[in-house]
Structure 1
C-alpha cells in the first residue's frame, strides 16, 4: 500500500467501526473525523461524504483499471478477466476490512443502492474497453461478456466476504469458463505454418474476435 493511502485506510476503518456500533444514519462526519484523528476539512477533502468513505477503494480501483487498460494487451478478452482478478486480489489483501464493509453495505439501503451503481461502473468500463480494443465488435458481445465477467466476479467475491475460503484461483477458473462460453479461451495447440490456412472457430465466438485472430496470424 502506498504511504499516502495508510491514513485514509485508518479513516475508513474508524468510519466502519462507528457505523457498526451506532448505525450509519446516526454517525456524523464530525464523529468519524474525531475517531480517525483528522480534521473535518481533511475528511471532506479525501472523501466528500459518509457514503464516499465506504466506497473509496472502488474509486481507486476504477482509476487503476483505466490505467491498466491503457497498456498494450495482446488479448483484450483476457485483459478484462485480468482486471477482474486485480480487483479481487485488492480486497483479499485487507480481507477483514472488506468483510466489515460488506456487512455495513448489506444493512444500509442507501449503500446497497450505491453499490449497484458502482458495479455497473465496472461493467461499463469493461464494455468500453472491449469496444475500443476490438473495432467492429458487436455491442451485444461487448456488453454481454462484460456483464458476465462482472456477475461471476461478484458471485465469487461475495462467497469470500461471507466468510468462505476462496482463493483467486477459484475466480480464475470461473473466468476461464466465461471465456470458454464465448469461444475466446485460447487452445493449447499451435497451427503449423502453411500456404493454405483453414481456420475453425467455435460457433459462439464473436466475429470481432475471429477477425482479430486471423489478422494476428497473418501479420
Structure 2
C-alpha cells in the first residue's frame, strides 16, 4: 500500500496534509491524548518521517509558521530598496494573514487546540515575537535614521493588529478579512511611520 508521502510529490503539499491531519486529530481527541503514531497513521506516513520533518508534536502545530517566517524574511530581504519600507512590513503581515484566510477551517481548528494547551499558547507567543523581530530588524536596516522607539512601536502595532484580526477570523468572525486588515494597516502606516528619506 502506498503511503501519502509517496503519492504527494510536492513537499509543501505533503507538509500541509500532515499538519491538517494532526490538527484534526488534536481537535477531535485532544492534544495530549493524540500520539505521534496516531498522526503518522492518519497522514499515511511513518513516525520517523514525522520527527524528521517536524521535530515534535508542537512542531506539527506551528509548521506552516516556520515556512511563513521564511517567506516573510524573503519578502523583506528582496525589498531592501523599496520606496515605502514601512508598507513592506504591512505586506509581510498580509502575506501571513492570506495564508490562514485561505485555510480558515484549519486556522479555526488550530486556534481551538492552541487555546486549550498552555505550552502551545507559550510557543505561539514566541512565534509572534519572531515575526515582530523580523519587521524590526528590516526597518532598522533600511530606515537607519528613524527613531528606534518608532520602529519598535510600528512593528509591534502591525503584529498586534494582524494577530487580533487573525484570532477573530479563527473564531469565525466573517468581518475579519484581508480587506479589514489592509484598511487597519493603512491607518497604522499613516499614523506611525516616519518618513526619513
Residue equivalent to 2:59: 52
What is the aligned-residue RMSD (CA, Å)?
1.3
3-state SS in 2 of match to 1:74: coil
Summarize the alignment of residues 13-52 of structure 1 with structure 2, pairs less than 5 Å apart: 13-52=20-59
Of 156, 160, 164 in structure 1, the residue corresponding to residue 165 of structure 2 is 156
Tell me which of the two structures has the higher relative contact order, counting C-alpha pairs closer than 8 angstroms and 6 or more residues apart. Answer: 2
**After the TM superposition, which parts of structure 1 deviate over 3 Å for at least 4 consecutive aligned residues?**
none
Q: Higher helix proportion, which one?
A: 2
Of 62, 72, 80 in structure 1, the residue corresponding to residue 89 of structure 2 is 80
C-alpha distance in structure 2 between counterparts of 1:62 and 1:92, whole Å: 17
C-alpha distance in structure 2 between counterparts of 1:162 and 1:17, whole Å: 16
Higher alpha-carbon Rg: 1
The offset of 1:167, in angstroms, is 2.4
Residue equivalent to 1:170: 180
3-state SS in 1 of match to 2:128: helix
The offset of 1:83, in angstroms, is 0.8
| Residue 112 of structure 1 pairs with residue 126 of structure 2 | no
The offset of 1:119, in angstroms, is 0.4
Listed as ranges, the gaps of 5+ residues in structure 1 are 185-205, 213-219
Listed as ranges, the gaps of 5+ residues in structure 2 are 1-8
Residue equivalent to 2:12: 5
Figure out how many residues of one structure are paired with residues of the other and give that number. Answer: 186
Contact 2:16 2:64 in 1 (8 A): no
C-alpha distance in structure 1 between counterparts of 2:27 and 2:167, whole Å: 19
The offset of 1:81, in angstroms, is 0.6
The offset of 1:118, in angstroms, is 0.5
Length-normalised TM-score, structure 2: 0.90
C-alpha distance in structure 1 between counterparts of 2:100 and 2:17, whole Å: 16
